[in-house]
Amino acid sequence: MSILQPTLLTLEATARPLSYRENLIALLGGELDFHDADSSYASHNFHAFPAKFPPQLPRKFIAALTQPGEKVLDPMMGSGTTLLEARLAGRAAFGCDIDPLALMLTQVKLTAMEKRTVSDCHYHLATRAQAWISQNPDQVRQSLDQRWDAATRKFVDYWFAAETQLELMALLHEIEQITDPGLQAFFKLAFSATIITKSGGVSLAFDLAHTRPHRVKVVRSASGEILMGADVLATLSESQHRYHVKTLRSPLEEFNKRVQANLKGLTELHDLDAPYTLARGNAQALPLPAEAIDLIVTSPPYASNAIDYMRAHKFSLVWLGHPINHLGEKRKTYIGGENISDFAFVNLPPHAAQIVDEIRRLDAPKGAAIHRYYSEMTHALREMYRVLKPGKAALVVVGTSVMRGIDTQTQHCLAEIGQTLGFEVPAIGVRRLDRDRRMMPAGFKVDRQSQIQQRMHEEYVIGLYKPDITAKETR
């Protein structure tokens, strides 16, 4: 089994049209960085989501490798970038994700709504929420008391100031009165987006979009009054303020701003008539028949939870009816998790097995975690192979990870696993990540000389081609 180096392939000028496979190679050798591209059009920015890929990436492959009406799938759709691009291009979109927020987010992003209707509904709900707080704060507090089990309540009390909880509760109460499911979901998403932002939104968390959340040490009101941590404030240097001091923002105001911003994105969703199908489910057992899909563009989680989705998503999901303990259980089923009790490992092909062994020798739990990741990805790739039509491709965007100083070589290992399942790997494209936007684990120090860190600033687009054994493909 040969392992492809991530070379940039170019094709010699040829008189005949490129075959599908050659086209795939050419696309993977072309622009994949999209650093200066605008990614804020349509509904792409309705809600923050970690490790989104730029919309230009799926758009490029959808435009070149499919025809209008054909079926495009992202089995780990996250914020639905691939699905939205598929719909904008008039392709039928299929998506699946295990994360409840990903599902709600994608659903809202794909739904065209009347701006006027949304705007009117927003006006009424914001007015009523404001009135409820000013006229009957005790009733709002009572609603808060009845909303959660003890563990969830503890979580909410730790991460949200009392005055923030009051406004969030009043807003949510009004949102839950909306009878139209599409409208209700639109506002629930805007509600969630006021909590999950890079700066931790209206919560007491310092950072929610990228790293492990930290609770700020000092909280002050918009008027500058210190509400929490007055004693700590005196011990902090000027530069530490940035990470430990937070000015509380009003959820009502933040919600209003977010709704206004999302309303603008709605404009471009009109006239979309391509169908779409979303499923809450596991990419390792897709709810799709065999040979149904024309193109897959997806980006799985990194190996070993480098980005832990639930870590941030639980901050709004607890408000939206998910008890904290259920979310903790759910987190274990995400690809890239570290829990290995009762896990059924897969026998890996030689290169992937060697990487796993090297890591296991230095750190047994980390070795087991990477073995789990490659096992789960074996199932996910097998499913992609099954649902793809012959003669079509899956583009899998991955980053590599470093465990105990060893590069997991995710792109090579997944390419190798793909080959054992029947895929051909005509090329692996390289995309350079914008250093400023790349998310790193908390405390990560940048060493520009380090080869490994260099690779962590790259992502790989693995081109997996399902051969059509019945057709003679021109290579």
Ligand X SMILES: C[S@@+](CC[C@H](N)C(=O)[O-])C[C@H]1O[C@@H](n2cnc3c(N)ncnc32)[C@H](O)[C@@H]1O
Q: Which residues bind ligand X (CB under 6 A)?
A: 49, 51-53, 76, 78-79, 81, 96-99, 102, 282-284, 299-301, 309, 334-335
Least distance in Å: CB of 274 to ligand X? 19
Distance in Å, CB of 453 to ligand X, minimum: 20
Read off φ and ψ for residue 13, nearest 5 degrees: -60, 135
Alpha carbon distance 70, 224 (integer Å): 56
Comparing CA positions, the residue from 396, 415, 329, 373 lying closest to residue 151 is 329
In the complex, the smallest distance separating the C-beta of residue 282 from ligand X, rounded to whole angstroms, is 4
Cβ distance to ligand X smaller for residue 201 or 301? 301
What gap in Å lies between CA 263 and CA 193, rounded to an integer?
14
Shortest-Cβ-distance residue relative to ligand X:
78
Q: For residues 171 and 295, which CB has a smaller minimum distance to ligand X in the complex?
A: 295
CB 117 within 8 A of CB 183: yes
Closest separation in Å from C-beta 434 to ligand X: 15
Residue 380: CB minimum distance to ligand X, A: 7
191, 171 in Cβ contact below 8 A?
Answer: yes
Of 81 and 165, CB closest to ligand X: 81
Using the minimum distance from each CB to ligand X, give the nearer residue, 246 or 431: 431
Query: Residue 295 — left, alpha, or beta (φ > 0 → left; ψ -120 to 50 → alpha)?
Result: beta
| CA–CA gap between residue 175 and residue 148 (Å, rounded) | 18
Question: Cβ closer to ligand X: 49 or 465?
Answer: 49
Phi-psi region of 114 (alpha: psi -120 to 50; beta: other; left: phi over 0): beta
Report the candidate in 167, 155, 80, 101 with the shortest Cα–Cα distance to residue 128: 167
Closest separation in Å from C-beta 397 to ligand X: 7
Which stretch of DSSP H or E encloses residue 284? Answer: none
Q: Which is nearer to ligand X, 284 or 400 (CB)?
A: 284
Sheet with 218-220: strands ordered across = 226-228, 218-220, 245-247
